[in-house]
Amino acid sequence: MAAGWQRLAPHPNMSSRWKKALSVLGVLAVLTVCGVGSFLMVLDEKKGTGAQANSSPPPTATPIDITTREVDPKPLTANEVFPGKQIVIDPKKPTEVYTVIKPQVLTDCRAAASGQISKLITDLGCSQVVRGTMRSPNGAYLVTGGIVNLDTVANAEKAYEAIKPIVDEGKGRFLGYAPDRQAKKSITKPLALASTHAGWNIRGHYLVYCVIARSDGGEIPIGDPFAKQILFDVIEFYLRGKVLEDRASDPISPDATPAPAPSATN
């Protein structure tokens, strides 16, 4: 049974609850400042905004719509999600890498989860799951990170909201991928046998998730900072911030020049 879970706040769409909370905080902040101070604060803010707008660099990529599989029909591949044997999170620490053990492409989405989560993602139009198992930088954890290809952003949002109560009630979970788990010396067996932590988030019509187990098969304490860091690294930084960011943007060549404006005619 899973030892813990973490549902990461969807980004960049901020929840209405947080929007309301931030609005209240903004009003309170203004009310606590005197009139002159408020004027100066707003004036400085406008100046800063103008300066930022004037000095903003040119765009480096053109956005691509990934809100539905209809407009984003190309399937994910193992090479797109896990193109190398190592994943570097911090370029300043090139030796602290996640080592990719083995990627896998599933066309039967039910194999990526158990119980009601398996049924949920199937009912919401899952066409494939691309997942891979890695070893953490310190070697103490085994990690499976995956992307579930759903048909629309609306269904991805439904999955995001529905998974928590399923996990809370013990009616389903994401499954770690343990290649060759039947082998006596398989290093990935803890992902299939041990207590795990899991996290998930969404981007476009994709659901992203991560499953973690200790390499020694031991329990992961609730609130383990290393587990939280792994969830952030794999879900937010890599799968959402790198793999899906690349899919959602078309880089603009620095050598590209804008087309000349048409000449005026009399």
Tens-digit pLDDT profile for residues 230-242: 999 999 999 999 9
Please give the pLDDT value at position 256: 56
Tokens 């599989």 correspond to 69
Per-residue tokens: 86: 């190592």
pLDDT along the chain (266 residues), means of 10: 53 42 37 36 41 62 94 98 95 91 97 97 98 96 97 98 95 92 75 87 98 94 91 97 96 63 49
Taking the C-alpha atoms of residue 234 and residue 212, their distance in angstroms, rounded to an integer, is 10
CB atoms within 10 A of CB 116: 18
Q: What is the DSSP secondary structure assignment for residue 175, as one 8-state letter? A: -
Burial 236-245 (b: 16+ CB within 10 A, else e): bebbbeebbe
pLDDT digits (tens, 9 = 90+) for 72-85: 999 999 999 999 99
User: Could you give the residue ranges of the DSSP H alpha helices within the chain?
Assistant: 16-31, 35-55, 78-81, 115-123, 153-168, 190-193, 225-231, 245-247
Which pTM value belongs to this model?
0.76
Please give the pLDDT value at position 61: 77
User: What secondary structure, in 3-state letters, does 57-110 show?
Assistant: CCCCEEECCCCECCCCCCCCCHHHHCCCCEEECCCCCCCCEEEEEEEEEECCHH
Please give the pLDDT value at position 9: 54
Please give the pLDDT value at position 28: 34
Before 83, cis peptide (omega within 30)? Answer: no
3-state secondary structure of 125: coil
- Pick from 136, 133, 155, 157: nearest CA to 146: 133
Q: What is the DSSP secondary structure assignment for residue 152, as one 8-state letter? A: B
Please give the pLDDT value at position 186: 80
Please give the pLDDT value at position 136: 96
Cα 47 to chain centroid, rounded = 35
**Which residues face 129 on adjacent strands?**
106, 148
The answer to whether the beta carbons of residues 189 and 158 sit under 8 Å apart is no
Helix (H) or strand (E) holding 148, with range, is strand 141-149
